[in-house]
Amino acid sequence: MRRRTLLTGLAGFAGGLTAVATTPALAHGPRRVLHVRPGGSVQAAVDAVTGPGWTIVVHPGTYREVVDIPVEKGELTLRGASRDPRAAVVVFARANGTPRPEGGTYGTAGSATFTSAAPGLTVRDLTLANDWLRADHPDYTGTQAVAAYVTGDRSHFDNVRFLAHQDTLFADTTALDAFDRQYYRHCHIEGDVDFVFGRARAVFDTCHFRTLRRDVAFTPKGMVFAPATARANPYGFLALRGRITSGAEDAAYKIARPWVPSYETTAWPSLVVRDTWIGPGIDAAAPYTDMRETYPWQTMRFREYANSGPGAVVSVPENRPQLTAAEAGEHSRRTYLGDWRPYAGR
């Protein structure tokens, strides 16, 4: 997929808006609201936040920049001015192997367009994208290019689009011994290799996962999830009431493979996919695979429950571990998120 395709339908929102006031951020009264318009900078607005409870409103346009929300900017809301998440786009092009000006490369986490370590973050109605392309850099070996790297506890994303290829959404934790919680609702997440990965305790509620077409000869073409859950954490990723669709040929993708990082070899990846429609792009006969033979997926906490669609057909039962009804009751928004209930009233 070329960069132009990745952002199809987005650039038009920026056109004709450059004449709007270009002040990076304007504060309005005691409501503690900052507005960012084309010509301005989302990062400048983040930098201007002086305490908890601020809202940054991003007006329609394309903002080509890197945004980093540090831990001290907690309880921040970042939202698009339009309810259409395609209207306001934060995008950058950088990969793991991209050289740093001071030497070395950015690495996977450093490639992210959007990074947040802030607790209590809420993001709504935006697109976060990394439009770096393998085809433009055939000499790179580090091709991970992250759209969003999220670590803060109580991070809430609602109606947000995450666009990239490899490692689109890095849902991680602030520390190896932290069980930081994340909640994604009505989000669109697309990519090809391990495009939802990390250590977080994360709930994906009514989200759409879209696998991209890849012009490669091998299969699988990629995997949706690559959890790296800590062994001490009882819960990892929970995907419920969503959809998994594909732009690739039938059976080209796997649902998941376990990621056991070299810096945490005791990890015990956990993934539950339940009440989800799974399209034909997923290999129904063998929907899981290994990242390394040392850590076979069969020894991990991978389970399904009550899924539907052609990619959910259980033709080889040993390849698709299922929860019982009683076990399924333990895998809910409430059990994963505890006393934090961002879904209340919905």
- Show the domain range for 323: 168-338
The domain that holds 230 is classified in CATH as 2.160.20.10
Query: Helix, strand, or coil here: 14?
Result: helix
The answer on pLDDT for 333 being more than 50 is yes
- Residues forming the active site: 194
The answer on pLDDT for 97 being more than 60 is yes
Kindly indicate the confidence band of residue 341, based on its pLDDT and cuts at 50, 70 and 90. Answer: very high
Determine what percent of the chain is predicted with pLDDT higher than 90: 90
- Report pLDDT digits (tens) over 22-69: 344 554 445 699 999 999 999 999 999 999 999 999 999 999 999 999
Structure token pair of residue 200: 């977080």
Assess if residue 177 is contained within a domain.
yes
The mean pLDDT value of the chain amounts to: 93
- 104 against 4, higher pLDDT: 104
pLDDT at 215: 92
Assess if residue 45 is contained within a domain.
no
pLDDT at 12: 37
Query: Helix, strand, or coil here: 30?
Result: helix
Assess if residue 322 is contained within a domain.
yes
- Report pLDDT digits (tens) over 248-275: 999 999 999 999 999 999 999 999 999 9
Measured CA to CA, the distance from residue 58 to residue 76 in angstroms comes to 13
Assess if residue 19 is contained within a domain.
no
The answer on pLDDT for 6 being more than 90 is no
Assess if residue 252 is contained within a domain.
yes
Q: How many structural domains are present in the chain?
A: 1
The answer on pLDDT for 173 being more than 70 is yes
Assess if residue 321 is contained within a domain.
yes
Strand partners, 22: none
> How would DSSP label each residue in 38-57?
TTS-HHHHHHH--STT-EEE
Least trusted range by pLDDT, from 6-15, 206-215, 226-235? 6-15
Nearest Cα neighbor of 188 from 57, 282, 85 is 85
The answer on pLDDT for 21 being more than 70 is no
pLDDT at 30: 53
The answer on pLDDT for 90 being more than 70 is yes
Instruction: Tell me the one-letter amino acid at 313.
Output: V
The answer on pLDDT for 15 being more than 60 is no
Assess if residue 250 is contained within a domain.
yes
The answer on pLDDT for 8 being more than 60 is no
Assess if residue 303 is contained within a domain.
yes
- Report pLDDT digits (tens) over 100-151: 999 999 999 999 999 999 999 999 999 999 999 999 999 999 999 999 999 9
